[in-house]
Amino acid sequence: MPRFHIEASPELATGMELTLSEGVSRHVQVLRLQPGDEVHLFDGGGREWRAAVVEMGRKRVCVRLESPVENDRELPVAVTLAVCMPANDRMDFVVEKATELGVRAIQPLMCERSVLRLDGDRALKKVAHWQAVAVAAAEQCGRAVVPEIHPVMTLGAWIKAEADGAARASRPVCHRAVLSLREAVPLSGWLGELPPVASRAGVGDPTRGGDSQRHSDERPTQFVFLNGPEGGLAPAEEEAALRAGWRAVSLGRRVLRADTAPLAALSVIAAHHEGTD
């Protein structure tokens, strides 16, 4: 079934007719769909619908939202990957594969050993590009939630912002770890030390309570994994994270590339929690 991302709006509801964006309309036209054909549409926040094509124009396509679709493909925990950006197009690969593996957000970072350095308009354009990569990956893998790509920050500024945020009592439980090259507790062992996750929460479910997105009072446990660039974090950078209360964890005896390590960590945590969910 063709799946397409549409802009989120609280007004979206079963029976509504809407005009698809130019980009999505072009995809529908390439597939040569006709009035009456079915597609799935999702808003990136957890809601998905079956929809029927009602009008095929030369430059626009109109559809009608027919019925909500239950979509339960999210991890029971919310994982953020804080990635010191790898060079070349490897960040595209990280965003795409992390989306497939269930990441909730990605924080691009610049640190002492970063090769890729971005600021100003160039940084904004890259973040917009990576957000589009995440949308395309969500369309392909069946997720109704699109991960958020945060603005590019320096590692020092981001660690300070995380420390300030951790002091807010309203935030859900958050476990923070540095993917370290030093002797450290294995990631699987660290996960085994933590309290069990109580329940799946915070994922939109259009099959309950009409078309409104469901938000649980019990928000999902959060995990944040910090990963360095090629060559790893500088010793002072890793020490700064550990002093801020982060835990150093290991992914094994082999040295993984900067674009492999965060995906390996996400795979471990997905296997750990989905295996017991």
At 64, which amino acid appears?
Answer: R
Strands 174-179 and 247-250: parallel
Q: How would DSSP label each residue in 191-256?
A: HHHSPPP----S---TTSSTTSPP--SSPPPEEEEEE--TT---HHHHHHHHHTT-EEEE--SSPP
CA 251 to chain centre: 21
Closest of 113, 118, 138 to residue 228, by C-alpha: 113
Question: Given this model, what pLDDT does residue 275 score?
Answer: 66
Question: Given this model, what pLDDT does residue 217 score?
Answer: 43
Domain 3-68 has CATH 3.90.1150.10: no
| Cα→Cα distances 38→4, 29, 142, 219, Å | 12, 13, 16, 34
Question: Given this model, what pLDDT does residue 219 score?
Answer: 72
Question: Given this model, what pLDDT does residue 62 score?
Answer: 92
Question: Given this model, what pLDDT does residue 8 score?
Answer: 87
Which is the CATH superfamily of the domain at 78-274?
SPOUT methyltransferase, trefoil knot domain (3.40.1280.10)
Over residues 209-265, the pLDDT tens digits come to 344 444 444 578 899 999 999 888 999 999 999 998 899 999 988 889 999 999 999
DSSP summary character for residue 66 = E
Question: Given this model, what pLDDT does residue 208 score?
Answer: 37
Q: Which residues of the chain have pLDDT under 50?
A: 201-217, 277
Question: Given this model, what pLDDT does residue 204 score?
Answer: 46
Q: How would DSSP label each residue in 157-192?
A: HHHHHHHHHHT-TTSPPEEEEEE-SSS-EEHHHHHH
Question: Given this model, what pLDDT does residue 276 score?
Answer: 53
Decide: residue 41, CB within 10 A, 0-12 exposed, 13-18 middle, 19+ buried. buried
Collapsing DSSP to helix, strand or coil, 100 comes out as helix
Question: Given this model, what pLDDT does residue 170 score?
Answer: 58
Q: Which string of b and e fits 60-85 if b means at least 16 CB within 10 Å?
A: ebebbbeebbebeebbbbbbbbbbbb
Domain ranges of the chain: 3-68, 78-274
CA 59 to chain centre: 31
